[in-house]
Structure 1
Amino acid sequence: MTTTAPSAPPEAADRRRWIALAIVLTASFMDLVDATIVNIAIPSIRRDTGASFTALQWVTAAYALAFAIGLITGGRLGDIFGRKKLFLLGMGGFTLASALCGFAASPGMLIGARVVQGAMAALMVPQVLAIIHVSFPAHERGKVFGMFGAVIGLGAVCGPLIGALLTEGDLFGLAWRPIFLINLPVGLAGILLGRRFITESRAAGALRLDLVGTALATVGLLMVLYPLTQGREAGWPVWGFVSMAASPLVLAVFVRYERAKARKDGSPLVELSLFRVRTFAAGSGVQLTFGAVNGLFFLIWTLHMQLGLGWSPLHAGLTGVPFSVACSAAAGLSVQKLVPRFGRRVLQAGALIMLSGALLYIGVAGHYGTALVSWQMVPAMVLMGVGMGLIVAPITDSVLSEVPAEHSGSASGIFNTTGQLGMALGLGLSSVAFFGAVGDPDGAGAAPGAPFVAATTNALWWVAGGLVLVFGLLFLLPRRARTRGAAAPAADGRAAAETGTEAGTETGREQPALV
């Protein structure tokens, strides 16, 4: 049964919910910035800790993988035990993990802290939309979600810049560590204010936890990602190939278990019947591939600028501003103007524009080599930003448009989890696509040079191939997204409200931009 705060005068209640909104938006901003801030500091982390390139891959991939695996379970925990309680627990854990990251004495400690950080984000982030849903009436949610979308865009722009400023500023001689330590005052303030101003709520009929399913999925995915990431450094041993070959068997056991759990109590981790909806299955393929493209691209882009071209973190961060601005502008335009008129073709145009940007980047990187300057990179980055914006904003609505309304929450959670898994896969692929082309990392060192430029162009061909696959999969989506609201009328509005709440708790990062 949904719980609410004690009654209060209208002005006090109104003030409380707007303060609560500021708190959850700040938490979302903190999570988004932390997911993007690390890439810009990777060369500094390597110099300071002596981490291998494989360890650096895990610094980024560990967060994405832990977040993805825990996302759906985190939403369900909030439904069962209370969203405020889980939000505060997640924020507290995220803040503590940030401190562990900032004071990490070794690459192994940093990777472990990043796993905890991703797991805590998986508890915190799913509660945000649910808290907004129960705090604001329907007629105000459009404005509120618009504010949420603006925070998402701001986080995308600010993450690399904040990371660059903190890293290059070398505050108190701490080098890269302030990119994590900055979360401490923000997190502590959020916890104190959240205890006072956020109203507790629970779902009326929450699904049960599926810990066995979570464990099977985790093992199956790690059997692919661990040898893929670690294999190059270990000399591609036989056990790695055996592990990757056995992973489909573990995932097959996971599928059988999920089917049995669906028959037993109706609360599997993954609602497998959704994949019988062609658009959802194809859209999940798009999301997985697109996530892999993004995970690979953003890592190698940063390394190209700093290790290949010798740019400072601030120089690299400022070079990324045109990309972020173009992406945000295209995202807003696609949802408001283009998709209602042109439908699926907008997403396909985005894939082609992004592909043209990747090919242009390959051209300029190959032509200018280590002499490449920022303005020569800008046209390619603007194209890639515009293309990404045309895809990320409308993709969720297109994919979920044919999903039955009663499964919209599960579908949204699975879809966003797929994107996070794709990002972790892309970071793992960098071992082959980028670091394998660099050759001996110890021999190449951290100095700017041609090996990193050559590795960048090699990895960009992988990015281009992924975008071609995305373009092809987009043909399986409906020409125009159906209006889901019309498919689920509810006489008293209660069913629609419950569906919306469920969707909120299991939604990841991209959803707010679609509202």
Structure 2
Amino acid sequence: MTTVQALPAPDQRRWKALAVCLTAGFISLLDTSIVNVALPSMEHGLSASEAAQSWVVSGYALTFGLVLVPAGRLGDMRGRRQAFLVGLALFTLASGACGLAPGASWLVLFRLIQGAAAGMVAPQTSGLIQQMFQGAERAKAFGLLGSVIGVSTAAGPLVGGVLIDAVGTDDGWRWVFFVNLPIGVAAFAAGLRLLPRFPSTGRREEFDPFGVLLLGSAVLALMLPLVQEQQWTGRLKWALLPVGAVLLLSFWAWERRQKERGRAPLIDLDLFALRSFTLGSLISLTYFAGFTTVFFVYSLFLQNTAGYSALAAGLSVLPFAASSAVGAAIGGRLVMRHGRKLVVVGLLAVVVGLFGVIVAVGLVPLESVGWATALPMVVGGIGSGLTVSPNTTLTLTRVPVRRAGAAGGVLQTGQRIGSAAGIALVGSVYFAHQAGHTRSVTAIQLGLLTAAGMSAIALLLAVADLRVRRAHPEPERAAPTARPGFEEGDAEEAVRRG
């Protein structure tokens, strides 16, 4: 009689391990927005030129986006725990180097390294969630991740403002980076103890260096003119966009060929046969094009036009950050019951909230803008939480766990490209109307209207997905499923070994 070996119970420390992942995710995403309010301090204390300041912001986003997919694939192949810890250690060291930078050029270099390290960490987080949790627990975990995404992005200006206000203009920018050191060290030490070591599946898969080169070149060509839109004058920069499209098509053809030859591709293109993954990724891309740009232009408006300090500008977006965390927690609990309808409601609330901000800015004196926009910011924040968290869950829910890292990298690469495109477009609208001597209030209203338009596109995609789901339902989870900590097929292998 064959004895069937019982599968081990899920690791009860997985929620503590999730806390480690979320802490690392928080500081890496915080650094996408915290430096925005520190740029005047860098100019004053480091004599950083406008070009250097631009690269401090855009260089981080660029290397972050470049590394996501290869790092996710590497984590799938060699272990997400190891990739996470290496990325976190490098991010912490690079943060310290940024804070100690003796000149603007050194700061830009260390900032590029810091962005690449953040790109190593991010896909491991979503992959580890896929691997450690299932069903309602997985939705709750992604809900917490959604809270971190919303809060970290929105809280960046506030944290930066507090630090600069406390330390002073000359050295305040250095503490924007130093703040990562104790958090990073503590998270690394906790990760060594808590992050689970998952059993090997026995699969031996090759890396795809040429695929990495093609995809990296495509992402670089697409993002570079977007992140440098204000610094590169002339229209020649936009020629890189069709180059990026050609490289992306070449990457697609190469990956198809890899699979036909029986070799492991960098990205399993069969993922895009999953409607939940394809439409979820598009919704994420278009939503982040609107979501992240709000803080970019609104912070500039509050400081440059309304005369707010960096701290006051940060406090003005606090209602969005706090309500976003609440919305994400609610979304994590309700997504398995309501599915895509929750995303539709969330995106509708974001659009309504942004229109509320647009109206409030035009009705009240500049010194009262922060108070007048608090309520619509709360509405938009709740909507953001109901969007990011459930959409991430629904996008990745049918992805096989062994491809979770690469799939998470694809999703987050779309978010980085969307953010860069949104900042380029909304920034162009905002700066063009300021340069044209239009009323400054009109400039911010048109900028926010552009951001609302991109969120509206995401809303239309979500509504279209909802209608298709009703006509052609798609299962809400991958099959077969295994216990947390096992890849698909590992359970069957354990039974065979008896």
**Normalising to structure 2: TM-score of the pair?**
0.81
C-alpha displacement of 1:406:
7.4
- Equivalent position of 2:370 in the other structure: 374
The whole-number CA distance in structure 1 between the counterparts of 2:435 and 2:385 is 34
Quick one: percent identity of the two aligned structures?
33
The whole-number CA distance in structure 1 between the counterparts of 2:26 and 2:81 is 18
State the one-letter code of the partner of 1:362. I
- Equivalent position of 1:389 in the other structure: 385
State the one-letter code of the partner of 1:226. L
State the one-letter code of the partner of 1:61. S
State the one-letter code of the partner of 1:210. D
Instruction: Establish whether residue 187 from structure 1 lines up as the match of residue 184 from structure 2.
Output: yes
Residue deviations 1:202-256 (CA, integer Å, cap 9, x gap):
642364323322222222233233234435444314x323333333222222222
The whole-number CA distance in structure 2 between the counterparts of 1:136 and 1:400 is 12
State the one-letter code of the partner of 2:300. L
The whole-number CA distance in structure 1 between the counterparts of 2:439 and 2:43 is 17
C-alpha displacement of 1:198:
4.9
State the one-letter code of the partner of 2:430. F
- Equivalent position of 1:64 in the other structure: 61
State the one-letter code of the partner of 1:472. L
- Equivalent position of 1:354 in the other structure: 350
- Equivalent position of 2:100 in the other structure: 103
- Root-mean-square deviation (CA), in Å? 3.8
Asked if 2 retains the 8 angstrom alpha-carbon contact of 1:350 and 1:390, the reply is: yes
- Equivalent position of 2:228 in the other structure: 230
Over 3 Å counting, the alpha-carbon distance change for 1:183 and 1:270 in structure 2 is same
State the one-letter code of the partner of 2:220. L
Please give the residue correspondences for 1:152-301 in structure 2 after superposition, counting only pairs within 5 Å.
155=152, 158-170=155-167, 173-192=170-189, 194-195=191-192, 198=195, 200-201=197-198, 203-204=200-201, 205=203, 207-237=205-235, 239-301=236-298
Asked if 1 retains the 8 angstrom alpha-carbon contact of 2:283 and 2:461, the reply is: yes
- Equivalent position of 1:318 in the other structure: 315
Q: What is the count of residue pairs matched by the alignment? A: 476
Instruction: Establish whether residue 40 from structure 1 lines up as the match of residue 40 from structure 2.
Output: no
- Equivalent position of 2:459 in the other structure: 471
Asked if 1 retains the 8 angstrom alpha-carbon contact of 2:123 and 2:408, the reply is: no
Instruction: Establish whether residue 307 from structure 1 lines up as the match of residue 304 from structure 2.
Output: yes
Over 3 Å counting, the alpha-carbon distance change for 1:499 and 1:233 in structure 2 is same
Question: Which 10-residue stretch deviates more, 345-354 or 56-65?
Answer: 56-65
State the one-letter code of the partner of 1:380. P
The whole-number CA distance in structure 1 between the counterparts of 2:441 and 2:213 is 40
Over 3 Å counting, the alpha-carbon distance change for 1:150 and 1:360 in structure 2 is closer
Unaligned runs of 5+ in 1: 1-12, 445-449, 502-515
Over 3 Å counting, the alpha-carbon distance change for 1:387 and 1:175 in structure 2 is same
3-state SS, counterpart of residue 38 of structure 1: helix
C-alpha displacement of 1:410:
4.4
The whole-number CA distance in structure 1 between the counterparts of 2:40 and 2:277 is 39
Asked if 2 retains the 8 angstrom alpha-carbon contact of 1:357 and 1:384, the reply is: yes
C-alpha displacement of 1:168:
1.1
The whole-number CA distance in structure 2 between the counterparts of 1:476 and 1:386 is 22
- Equivalent position of 2:435 in the other structure: 439
The whole-number CA distance in structure 1 between the counterparts of 2:15 and 2:355 is 46
C-alpha displacement of 1:308:
1.9
Instruction: Establish whether residue 73 from structure 1 lines up as the match of residue 62 from structure 2.
Output: no
Asked if 1 retains the 8 angstrom alpha-carbon contact of 2:72 and 2:407, the reply is: no
3-state SS, counterpart of residue 35 of structure 1: coil
Question: Which 10-residue stretch deviates more, 161-170 or 77-86?
Answer: 77-86
The whole-number CA distance in structure 1 between the counterparts of 2:332 and 2:89 is 35
Asked if 2 retains the 8 angstrom alpha-carbon contact of 1:292 and 1:426, the reply is: yes
Asked if 2 retains the 8 angstrom alpha-carbon contact of 1:229 and 1:431, the reply is: no
State the one-letter code of the partner of 1:349. V
- Equivalent position of 1:423 in the other structure: 419
The whole-number CA distance in structure 2 between the counterparts of 1:45 and 1:451 is 29
State the one-letter code of the partner of 1:458. L
State the one-letter code of the partner of 1:355. V
C-alpha displacement of 1:56:
4.1
Over 3 Å counting, the alpha-carbon distance change for 1:227 and 1:132 in structure 2 is closer
The whole-number CA distance in structure 2 between the counterparts of 1:139 and 1:359 is 34
- Equivalent position of 2:486 in the other structure: 497
3-state SS, counterpart of residue 394 of structure 1: helix
State the one-letter code of the partner of 1:363. V
3-state SS, counterpart of residue 348 of structure 1: helix
The whole-number CA distance in structure 2 between the counterparts of 1:344 and 1:155 is 24
- Equivalent position of 1:509 in the other structure: none
- Equivalent position of 1:27 in the other structure: 24
The whole-number CA distance in structure 2 between the counterparts of 1:500 and 1:158 is 41
Asked if 2 retains the 8 angstrom alpha-carbon contact of 1:60 and 1:427, the reply is: no
Unaligned runs of 5+ in 2: 1-10, 491-498
Over 3 Å counting, the alpha-carbon distance change for 1:474 and 1:74 in structure 2 is same
C-alpha displacement of 1:314:
1.6
Over 3 Å counting, the alpha-carbon distance change for 1:34 and 1:234 in structure 2 is closer
Question: Which 10-residue stretch deviates more, 181-190 or 300-309?
Answer: 181-190
Asked if 2 retains the 8 angstrom alpha-carbon contact of 1:216 and 1:254, the reply is: yes
From 352, 361, 366, give the equivalent of 1:365.
Answer: 361
Residue deviations 1:65-110 (CA, integer Å, cap 9, x gap):
3223212322332344444433332122111211232233444443
Over 3 Å counting, the alpha-carbon distance change for 1:53 and 1:200 in structure 2 is same
Over 3 Å counting, the alpha-carbon distance change for 1:246 and 1:369 in structure 2 is farther
Question: Which 10-residue stretch deviates more, 219-228 or 381-390?
Answer: 219-228
3-state SS, counterpart of residue 29 of structure 2: helix
**Normalising to structure 1: TM-score of the pair?**
0.79
The whole-number CA distance in structure 2 between the counterparts of 1:362 and 1:162 is 25
